[in-house]
Amino acid sequence: MTEKYDMQEIFSKKIRAGRRTYFFDVRSTKAGDYYMTITESVKGINDEGIPSYKKHKIYLYKEGFNDFKEAFESVSNYIIKEKGEEIISEKKFEKNEEIKSSEQEETSTKFTEVNFDDLGKD
């Protein structure tokens, strides 16, 4: 009799970041060892206008933990050193929205005066 392999999560951590959610899950191999899955879930709207989620998953095993951690820290530190911790894309988005809004106000208040009496005279 074979024992049923159970893919249950052993431990999980969730992080929300804007429209994205990251799941760090510990799972068990058939041999009883642990590995990690990192899932990125991005909320969007499908063609029918219904909310949907796109998911991307990475499987990370213990033999890659140290190299992964070092690479993550190195790249994270580089980005923070070069660009700081402020989220630039959000500021640009807000600024673009402000510009679009003021452009729309300008266009909506501009108009050309048309004198219909002049149209029939030739």
Pick from 6, 72, 70: which is nearest to 38 by CA?
A: 72
1 inside domain: no
Can you give the residue range of the structural domain that contains 92?
11-107
User: What gap in Å lies between CA 11 and CA 73, rounded to an integer?
Assistant: 23
Residue 20 is assigned to a structural domain of this protein = yes
Output the domain CATH number for residue 86: 3.10.450.700
Q: Is the pLDDT of residue 88 over 70?
A: yes
Please indicate, yes or no, if residue 67 is contained in any of the structural domains.
Answer: yes
**Structure confidence at residue 36 as a pLDDT band (50, 70, 90):** very high
**Measured distance CA(81)–CA(64) in Å, rounded:** 25
Strand order in the sheet with 34-45: 11-17, 20-28, 34-45, 51-61
**Residue ranges in 62-118 assigned as alpha helix (H):** 65-83, 88-109
User: Which residue shows structure tokens 């106000």?
Assistant: 105
Instruction: Let me know if residue 21 belongs to a domain.
Output: yes
On average, the pLDDT of the chain sits at: 80
Q: How many domains does the chain have?
A: 1
Task: Kindly state whether residue 3 falls inside one of the protein's structural domains.
Answer: no
- The answer to whether position 81 is within a domain reads yes
Rounded CA-CA distance 69/45 in Å is 33
pTM > 0.85? no
Between 105 and 54, name the one with better pLDDT: 54
Instruction: Please give the pLDDT value at position 45.
Output: 87
Does a structural domain hold residue 73?
A: yes
Q: Is residue 122 part of a domain?
A: no
